[in-house]
Structure 1
Amino acid sequence: MIGLHYLKAIYDESDESVVEKWVENPYWQYFCGERDFQHQFPIEPTPMVKWRCRIEKQNLDELLAP
């Protein structure tokens, strides 16, 4: 999940666009831990929002800081 949020932050994408691009991009999938190319996203964008809400804004910024 943190890989998706990192990609979202560095490319300034929405949750929905991260999901769409993840399905199309084998490099993004590999970065997020997949070994084989996946044709479907394993989760919907909603769990990304719920996960992000569980982490305080400050902590997420610290995790995603370069």
Structure 2
Amino acid sequence: MTVSERPQANTSPSQASIGSAWIIVCSGTYLIYLALNREHAKLDFKFIFLSSRNWHLQVAKSQSRPRADRRQH
């Protein structure tokens, strides 16, 4: 992999680290919320799971497509 040809390659590891940190923050927030009130925690966990999964799908789509395809859409 030559980084000089694709300067955008520098952004993909940072996106992955931001995503993992975001999941850690969400899970920590969920644990705190679970300790506070356990009734609504399941709904929040579904929301956190769906939002994190959607984010991973967006990252996977953006990484799998070449840059030329992104300009057309």
TM-score over 0.5 (shorter chain): no
Normalised by the size of structure 1, how large is the TM-score? 0.28
Normalised by the size of structure 2, how large is the TM-score? 0.26
User: Which has the greater radius of gyration?
Assistant: 2
Write 1 or 2 for the structure with the bigger share of helix: 2
**Highest RCO, 1 vs 2 (Cα 8 Å, sep ≥ 6):** 1
